[in-house]
Chain A
Amino acid sequence: MARRIGVFVCHCGVNIAGVVDVEKVAEELRKYPGVAFATTYQYMCSDPGQNLIRQKIEEENLDAVVIAACSPSMHEETFRNVCKDYFNPQRCEMANIREQCSWVHEKEEATEKAIKIVKATVEKLKGNEDLTPIYVPVEKKCLVIGGGIAGIQAALDIADAGYEVILVEKEPSIGGRMAQLSETFPTLDCSQCILTPKMVAVSRHPKIKLMAYSEVIDISGYVGNFDVKILKKPRYVDEDACTVCGDCEKVCPVIVPNEFDMEKKPRKAIFIPFPQAVPSTYTIDREACLGLAPLTCAECREACEANAINYDMQPKIVEEKVGAIIVATGYDLYDKSNLVEYGYGEDDDIITSLEFERMLSASGPTGGNIIKPSTGETPKKVVFVQCAGSRDKQHMPYCSSICCMYTAKHALLYKHHVPDGEAYVFYIDIRATGKDYEEFINNVMEEERINYIRGKVAKIFREGDKIVVWGVDTLTGKKVEIKADLVVLAMAIVGRKETKEIAQLLKVATGVGGFLKESHPKLKPVEALSRGIYFAGCAQAPKDIPATVAQASAAASKVLALFAKDKLEKDPMVAVVDEEHCSGCGVCISVCPYGAMQRQPNGKAKCIEALCEGCGTCAAACPSNNIEMRNYRDEQIEKMIEVII
């Protein structure tokens, strides 16, 4: 226990000294039991300030210090680093007399309060135990969940740095949403053409273990030491043996809609979602196939010369140990059936933006031709409706971020396909904040002669062979009625339902729209609250391809920083459960935001120290008063309260 405590009161320029009489604080503390020395200084965190602390520790033979300055979240680390050359860093405490005192109080009472805060901190310090940091080993292997462009980029970055990656994708092929797009804004690159090389690179990379058609079903453990269970769904086709000759597909008698084409194009029960799929192999759709059970059809197996088809393939559970996890589960479109005012989107000629993307694709349902789905004719008048479900309190309150840009692209591509057609775009504002985006929009508006109407669409309904769009032009204040052949809804982007499932497994939070919640919206945008878990792409928030790729690389760099160490050092300020008196009520497990409280086989709670951030939520919530924070024990807090009141 500390016997010779030094108190260092910081002026913080005028931040503290302008309000609090710092000399009086030092003077009062000099008289306080246990305090051997007290002084003040202009800027304690500065180099001379830190040197003053070193000098006085030596001269006055101090065995603990209280720095009365700003919030510990600001400078605790700074001052503990100064002290660790002399004694255990737990013997250095900060008394916050800035945020909690000088910034919020008037002169005299501020000084009085500052004295109390410092005295209380001295009392806490007297009860502190010396603690040693916790070290956690790191398994240098990363799990990436989701094989869209975000997952692909993150996996490649980590693998290129020499670490092993397991990339799990639940669909038969990686590629995600980007593989479904026709061309990308603002450069009009072919989406497939720029994505496919990366997909192939993933499949060929010696450090990447690609597990497509697989799902993560269980995750336990903590940073550096996650245990993951992955379910490998049976394709009923041997990936390695399949030559993608297509003979099986020709003979398969079952036709169902292809999910990859937004169900607008047929596929067989044995299928490859798109020609460039990776891994390049056929898959049997268990639900649609006649041959699996009972054995009524074996056409494909008979046709397969490579003998790749095996109806008896079983699901397999693969267990892996990884040190870090990147969640890149992507997005879905908001369900258009929620849009009552747009006829629930039920009409064949009212389509979503992704359906339009597939229509534009050469390998899509129409071979790249733009048609009016109900008749197959070329639509002469097309209305694009932005913010369908976005920026709308009744649906999704947020901006889906990419719709302005892709709608402009859609309108432009429409005009290239149907030069004599008319295109209208309803918009609230145009948000074109990316590099070269504004120029692209201007080009579309001016060169392509697209009619941009500033206003929201009130109603969409069918009248004969036309789709009538009612809206208002807020610039002229006039009602607008357009009789269109085709309406394209720029649907809001929402988190996938699978994201929520993964979030529950990882015990990370999701917010409005089902997007993953980051640790800090500005300073930790790719990190989960729990260490060792990172986010990339639209699973975190709507974003375009460049932002997704950048975020994926950012997440990868976080993983690499983690893997650069053999052991992780952690602050020992963690929760301690008195196991003997724990009833296993589970309150702490439910409230811990870091997933650090876990149930043991005997039902009692245990704190995984590697995960605990020392927030104290569990200690406050424990109805048996059975959890204590190291160096924030009840006796210490009670002594602090005694001094204050």
Chain B
Amino acid sequence: MKKKIAMYWGAGCGGCDVSLLGIHEKLLELLDDIEIVFWPCATDFKYEDLEKMPDKSIDIAFYNGAIRTSENEEIAKLLRKKSKILVAYGSCAIEGCIIGLANLYDKEEIFRAVYLENETTPNKEKIVPKEKAGELELPEFLPHLKVLSNVVKVDAVIPGCPPPKPVLIEALEALLSGKTQFGKSVALCDECPRRDTKPDKIEIDRFYRWHEKQDDGKCFLAQGIICMGPATLAGCGGECIAANIPCTGCMGPPPKVRNQGAAMLSAIASLLGEMDEEREKEVIESIQDMVGTFYKYTTAKLLPKGRVKDEG
């Protein structure tokens, strides 16, 4: 019997929906085994269609994107009710991803930046979205961005921003055969295309952003270019690195690491070469955008209630 599949796009860029098409002809093979019962992005379904389905009638539901609005939250709960297996699909659903960086700010700050202060958004009337405008009612913009597991029980995760082809194919095959555990359990260095270029001793004297240094084709970290690979789960095959771009960590941390950013920061700090304290401070402060570098994908998961405000 064909498995009933649902896919929902929460708060996200849409890349996850597209990534499903990225598996190319493999998708055609899969189509023989599946029946799509709900996929608003690709086919015409209404929420009421979903509501009418019997509970647990969907075999596998994929939820991509994070939970930013009350609507996202409602659908997440509905999908949980209607499906046997609920899968967090992609970095947004698992740990908040780039949009999760919004948890460094509150709702007012976000609206002010987006609708009032953004120079490319003409807004002479200074209109800010409201939940109720006359007859119209909009979903609530939640105080903080949530990840799927904050709202409902999640049975499986497919990491990546969006999930890379090899990760996705392995995950889909596993899920269709009833498995919820799949993927690798080591960090990216294990399969890095530059694996053999690692020197015996990595010693960092200063950091370079990638445009500041001519890439010599060797391990990025050894070149002083921050690469999140050592603290990032393998599986993608290092496709960014194959394209000469250091890893930014979208696959999330390997299994034993709870805090990807802290793990990498601690590693990087240990790799600094011999220098006096003053120079050390200078070198560390030269890292542009600490949070965006080390917590690019995991901020929302680690800060579900937003930032702890400085006192005073």
Residues of A within 8 A of B (CB): 504, 507, 509, 578, 580-587, 589-591, 599, 603, 617, 620-626
Contacts and interface: CB of A to CB of B under 8 A. Distances in A.
Given A589-B200, A622-B267, A625-B257, A584 B231 contact: no
B239 interface: no
Which of A585, A586, A599 is packed against the most chain B CB atoms within 10 Å? A585
Contacts of A509: 274
A580 B190 CA distance: 11
Nearest to B203: A590
A623 B190 contact: no
B98 interface: no
B202 A623 contact: no
The 6 closest A-B CB pairs, nearest first, are: A583-B187, A585-B230, A621-B270, A623-B231, A585-B189, A583-B189
B271 A591 contact: yes
Nearest to A505: B200
Contacts of B258: 625
22 contacts: A507-B201, A581-B186, A581-B256, A583-B230, A583-B254, A584-B198, A585-B187, A585-B221, A585-B229, A585-B267, A586-B189, A586-B199, A586-B200, A587-B267, A587-B270, A589-B201, A621-B266, A623-B266, A623-B267, A625-B256, A625-B263, A626-B256
B266 to A, nearest CB: 6
A342 B274 CA distance: 31
Nearest to B263: A623
Contact of B190 (A578, A584, A589, A622): A584
Interface of B: 185-190, 195, 198-203, 219, 221, 229-231, 234, 254-258, 263-264, 266-267, 270-271, 274
A377 to B, nearest CB: 49
Contacts of A586: 189, 198-200, 202, 219
B297 to A, nearest CB: 15
Contacts, number: 89
A578 B256 CA distance: 11
A399 B271 CA distance: 31
Contact of A587 (B186, B199, B271): B271
A582 B230 CA distance: 10
Contacts of B271: 587, 590-591, 621
A217 to B, nearest CB: 15
Contacts of B256: 578, 581, 624-626
A202 B190 CA distance: 50
Nearest to A591: B270
A267 B185 CA distance: 65
Nearest to A504: B201
A504 B199 CA distance: 12
B195 A584 contact: yes
Contacts of A623: 187, 230-231, 257, 263-264, 266-267
A41 B264 CA distance: 46
A456 B227 CA distance: 50
A493 B222 CA distance: 32
Nearest to A590: B202
Given A581-B186, A585-B187, A589-B201, 15 more contacts: A580-B186, A581-B185, A583-B186, A585-B189, A585-B267, A586-B189, A586-B199, A586-B200, A587-B267, A589-B200, A621-B270, A623-B230, A623-B267, A624-B187, A624-B257
Contacts of B230: 583, 585, 587, 623-624
A117 B224 CA distance: 40
B232 to A, nearest CB: 9
Nearest to A578: B256
Which of A583, A589, A622, A626 is packed against the most chain B CB atoms within 10 Å? A583
A625 B255 CA distance: 9
B275 to A, nearest CB: 12
A624 B199 CA distance: 19
B236 to A, nearest CB: 13
Contacts of A582: 186, 190
B266 A624 contact: no
B263 A583 contact: no
Nearest to A517: B274
B287 to A, nearest CB: 16
Given A581-B254, A585-B230, A587-B270, A624 B200 contact: no
Nearest to B191: A583
Contacts of A617: 270
B273 to A, nearest CB: 10
Contacts of A599: 200
Given A583-B234, A585-B189, A624 B202 contact: no
B190 to A, nearest CB: 4
A352 to B, nearest CB: 29
A32 to B, nearest CB: 29
A617 B202 CA distance: 15
Nearest to A583: B187
Contacts of A504: 201
Contacts of B200: 586, 589-590, 599
B161 to A, nearest CB: 19
Contacts of A587: 202, 230, 267, 270-271
Which of B201, B202, B263, B270 is packed against the most chain A CB atoms within 10 Å? B270
A605 to B, nearest CB: 11
A117 B203 CA distance: 36
A310 to B, nearest CB: 37
Contacts of B231: 623-624
